Structure 1
């Protein structure tokens, strides 16, 4: 079964798009005609996926590369601002970045581990959504939040 999408003229920002599922979403969005924003913490991986997106784009649209950490508000601000400055709008925000760090409750730095997970998996989503909603409202845009089955699995000793 072949599925195709037409995102011609749309601007898609995908967090965590320098690898994994995020890279796949960015590539499919580019292949479907969207202007794509590729972001992550690793410059080389961001550049690699951005080139792949440009190569897949039917009109060879250049993907915007934004290196940054969604745990830093200044980087989130720069991510939204760069997107709107470059493309003039934002149509799709995909909150994809996330990670898990398993630790027992008696682990010495357990609370710091918990805070890091929550900062990445929850706070960054809330902040980026807050920062982008005014732009998405103008385009009648969409927000897609990616989650994991891991949130439904308990682990312990």
Structure 2
């Protein structure tokens, strides 16, 4: 059974490992081999630790037993975009769990977090060459707001997708 909870500092090593596995499976051929091969678990552990410590950002994990199989960050934008006050970022799911509703569940958790702070819109940045992720977000209702100019380093090329949250009828 897959469960979801807020990330804790003791999750940082597992989060860094999930990110590494997703990069290897998803971004080989998009990111440079050296970027993937030189991925630093230690630096990424520290990055996740800093996210967990940030009060206006929430990091959630998907886990099966004690194994973390995915995660998602939501809250104050990591990379501000236009007037948006909220961002869903870093939605990663291990390849063997993709297509099983884990990403949708994490997306739903973020949406609930946004609704709780009366946010009516948020954005996501997705690599334009990660077609699976792009199609996933488009299927969930994302509207393309901006496409960054193509660059030699394909890890930098992003598409910004915006989502509207309709007020719940009372």
Normalising by structure 2, we get a TM-score of 0.29
| Larger fraction in strand | 2
| Larger fraction in helix | 1
